[in-house]
Amino acid sequence: MSDKHYKELLEKFLSGDSSFEENKQLDALLGEHPDAEFDDLCKNLWDSASAADNLSNSRKLKMKDNLLSRVSVEEDCERRIKHSGKKNWSWVFSFAAVIAVFILGGALVYMNTQPVLEYEVLAERGQKSSLILPDGSRVWLNSDSRICYSSDFNKKNRNIVLEGEAYFEVAKNKKIPFIVKASGLDVTAVGTQFNVRNYPKESTVCATLVEGRVLACTKGQSAYLDFGEEAVMERSSGAMSTGLAADLNHLVPWRSSEILFSDHSLAQLSEILSRMYNVDVCFESDEIKDYKYTGLVRNNSLHNVLELVSNTSPVNYELKGNIIVFSESN
């Protein structure tokens, strides 16, 4: 037989593709080729196998499976080593095992280096939205809000990044905690319901517990929250305080199409209106921005809110298309 056929047989054996008959042919040919030629060929095959990118993934897996399953062939070769002065087949099998490990490792790297995708769900200004996450948890997004999570969600983690405001109804999974990350305030839950508010223009980030129990953490503090309690983090300093919500009967008013004002300035109220109704707000006087408002608007149509402002303070309003102009009453 030709040298080419000998090399083909050896290559097929090392890759795990050879048949029993081909192995017998290879065994017979070994004595006809010098050791140096044998060693050089093995080295070249190793260098070729090391270029894993040239092998398809299915090919790698097939080589791995075949190599690791050739116990009977190995036993036959070990028997030949004992009764023959031919090539050191134990080294060949060490070499083959190294290739098998290399291929297996390459397959694992291939599977573990799949790109991690990032998903984003958002509610535009003037809108609300809801979704069900891969773990069965439900999320409601308030206006001008977004959440992000990765394709690893419910596999390696259940991490959510929030900007804006969202209400979470978390599916239970004690092995993988559900964590909402909100600009330095992390809220961890196993199975519970809570609200997190994290609008970048607001000075605080707030988590409110509605049902169950959560752990609120910052870099320097942590606290468990029970029903009706809030964790409020100052955005500028990172300091966190906890306490009961202002109104236990209206913990998450936006979910019920309500607006709850608690000593809100007109400037703060305007930010809320801008998000909820997708409008722009202008002030004819800076002084009126500091007027304070407290109350609950159950039917939160834009007209009702504007009437509340006008009837409880010396402020007039004019709606021009999607622009609200506030001015001081004469």
| 294/312 same-domain check | yes
| Residue 231 and residue 282 in one domain | no
84 and 135 assigned to the same domain: no
- Which pLDDT band holds residue 74 (cuts at 50, 70, 90)? very low
Question: Residue for token digits 């291929």?
Answer: 103
Nearest in space to 32 (alpha carbons), one of 7, 67, 57, 65 = 7
Provide the sign of the torsion angle of the four alpha carbons 254, 255, 258, 263, taken in this order.
Answer: negative
Backbone φ, ψ for residue 329 (5° rounding): -70, 145
Report the CATH number that the domain containing residue 309 is assigned in CATH. 3.55.50.30
With contact defined as beta carbons under 8 Å apart, do 57 and 114 qualify? no
The average confidence (pLDDT) of the chain is: 79
- pLDDT at residue 147, as a whole number: 97
Distance CA 299, CA 218 (A): 36
What integer is the mean pLDDT of 300-307? 84
- Which of 216-220, 256-260, 302-306 has the highest mean predicted lDDT (pLDDT)? 216-220
Identify the DSSP state of 49.
H
In this model, does residue 265 exceed pLDDT 50? yes
Closest CA to 178 of 193, 195, 163, 190: 190
**Cβ burial, residue 182 (10 Å; 0-12/13-18/19+):** buried
What's the total number of domains in the chain? 3
Based on the number of CB atoms within 10 Å of its own CB, is 20 exposed (0-12), middle (13-18) or buried (19 or more)?
A: exposed
Both 129 and 226 in a single domain?
yes
- Is the same domain home to 90 and 184? no
pLDDT at position 72: 36
Contact predicate 231/223, CB 8 Å: yes
In the β-sheet with 280-283, what is the strand arrangement from edge to edge?
280-283, 323-328, 315-320
Listed residues 66, 85, 112: the one ending a domain = 112
Query: Which two tokens mark 69?
Result: 């399953």
pLDDT in tens, 75-104: 344 444 444 444 444 445 444 444 444 445
**Are residues 277 and 175 part of one domain?**
no
Read off the tokens for 189: 């839950």
Over range 245-274, report the average pLDDT.
Answer: 89
Q: Which amino acid is at 18?
A: S
* Residue 318 phi, psi dihedral angles, 5° rounding: -140, 130
Q: Are residues 197 and 181 in the same domain?
A: yes
Q: Name the residue with tokens 């891969």.
A: 134
68 and 177 both lie in a single domain: no
One domain for residues 51 and 104: yes
Q: 156: which 2 tokens?
A: 């390696």
What CA–CA distance (Å, rounded) separates 42 from 50?
12
Give the end of a domain, one of 251, 281, 300.
251
Same domain, 59 and 161: no
> What pLDDT is stored for residue 78 in this prediction?
42
Of the pLDDT bands very low, low, confident and very high (cuts 50, 70, 90), residue 325 is: very high
* Of residues 255, 204, 254, the one with CA closest to residue 230: 204
Domain, as residue range, for 292? 257-328
Q: At what angle do helices 35-50 and 3-15 cross, to 10 degrees?
A: 50
For 141-205, what is the HEC assignment? ECCCEEEEEECCECCCEEEEEEEEEEEEECCCCCCCCEEEEECCEEEEECCCEEEEEECCCCCEE
Among 225, 251, 277, which residue terminates a domain? 251
Which pair of structure tokens corresponds to residue 78?
């070990």
Q: What is the mean pLDDT of residues 304-311?
A: 88
Residue 210 pLDDT: 96
Q: What is the DSSP letter of 86?
A: S
Q: How high is the pLDDT of residue 4? A: 76
Query: Could you tell me if 124 and 100 lie in one domain?
Result: no
- Do the beta carbons of residue 185 and residue 231 sit within 8 Å? yes
Tokens found for residue 305: 């809110």
Query: Does 27 share its domain with 132?
Result: no
